Amino acid sequence: MGAVSANPTDAKIGNQTFHIPDGFKEVNRTNGTNETSVLFEKDKATSIIISVSPKLNTSDLAQVAGDVNKTISGKNGIYNEKLHCFSYNNDGNYILVFAPDENMIADIIK
């Protein structure tokens, strides 16, 4: 499980703000027409990927094996425990977060 970071860094992606745990650094940002994706790494084996798109909705996506409806940090969405991925809608944006575990996802999106 990921440790709660005492000193998270705020990262703005699209019009959304996320709380990136201490020790993670932004290593790649891709700004597409319909999506912005950012990769943060602590080391080569520990990473966070956040994608924000104003053009998609969770209802537009096909669910894959392991997806369950879940509320994390007060946000209703779809969580996949195998992939450690949470997708949800917020302020007209579709947001996808990959992180080492659910606790870290909760800290990132709160």
pTM, two decimals, is 0.87
**Percent of the chain scored above 90 by pLDDT?**
69
**Which residue, among 92, 97, 93, 100, has the nearest Cα to 109 in the 3D structure?**
97
- The tokens describing 98, both together, are 């990959």
| pLDDT at residue 88, rounded to an integer | 93
- Weakest mean pLDDT among 7-11, 48-52, 78-82, 94-98: 7-11
C-beta of residue 2 within 8 angstroms of C-beta of residue 104 = yes
Please enumerate in sequence order all residues whose Cβ is within 8 A of that of 29, keeping only pairs 6 or more positions apart, or say none: 36, 37, 38, 39
| pLDDT at residue 34, rounded to an integer | 85
Instruction: Give the three-state DSSP class for 107.
Output: helix
- pLDDT reading at 110 higher than 80: yes
Mean pLDDT, residues 48-62: 78
Q: How many CA atoms lie within 13 A of 85 on its CB side?
A: 15
Task: Give 7: exposed, middle or buried? Use CB within 10 Å, 0-12, 13-18, 19+.
Answer: exposed
- pLDDT reading at 101 higher than 90: yes
| pLDDT at residue 57, rounded to an integer | 62
Alpha-carbon distance 76 to 89, whole Å? 8
Mean pLDDT, residues 9-16: 92
- pLDDT reading at 62 higher than 80: no
